Amino acid sequence: MEMTEQHDPQAAVKDPDEWVTGDEPTTAAQESYLRTLAREAGETVPDGLTKAEAAKLIDQLQQQTGRGDQG
């Protein structure tokens, strides 16, 4: 019987508040994905979001729209 390590994929995921670059402006990819999710959710994307704020909003909108890997 072979022993395998159990890996928690969330263990390597840092909270956006802990990101070193979290206060930088959103990336083009974040901005594009946010706009897609917001359109599907009937929401608007505020201007001037940071990377960390965008990541949190993406998580929220993914839950609203049923997109993303929720486990």
pLDDT digits 0-9 by tens, 10-66 = 556 678 888 888 899 999 999 999 999 999 999 999 999 999 999 999 999 999 999
User: What pTM was estimated for this model as a whole?
Assistant: 0.73
Measuring CA to CA, how many Å separate 69 from each of 15, 31, 44, 57?
A: 17, 19, 22, 15
Side-chain-side CA neighbours of residue 57 (13 Å): 23
Place 71 in a pLDDT band, splitting at 50, 70 and 90: low
Q: What share of the chain is helix, strand, coil (3-state, %, to 5)?
A: 45, 5, 50
Residue 8 has pLDDT above 80, yes or no: no
